[in-house]
Amino acid sequence: MSGPGGPVYICPMHKDVRRPSPGVCSHCGMALIPEGARFGMFQHMLSSPRHIAVMAAVMIVLMAAVMMMWK
């Protein structure tokens, strides 16, 4: 995740673009993010059974609302 001199910044779309400091991708112009941060929030949400239950409940509520609108 981190290089010898600190974090490594990567492009979310181009894994071959790696820089020692923040900036933009030379291929697409997207902002570089710290390596390992791409799925950090998702991994955090899956770390607790309560979070998984909340995500499932939200999905069920949204699906039910969509189904009721189509009747």
Residues 1-42: pLDDT tens digits? 554 667 888 888 888 899 999 899 999 988 888 887 766 667
* DSSP code at position 30: P
pLDDT on residue 36: 77
If DSSP codes are grouped into helix, strand and coil, which group holds residue 54? helix
pLDDT on residue 4: 61
* Residue boundaries of the structural domains of the chain: 1-38, 39-71
The separation between CA 5 and the C-alpha centre of its own chain, rounded to angstroms, equals: 24
Neighbouring residues of 46: CB distance < 8 A, sequence distance ≥ 6: 52
Which pTM does this prediction carry?
0.49
For residue 64, pLDDT beyond 60 = yes
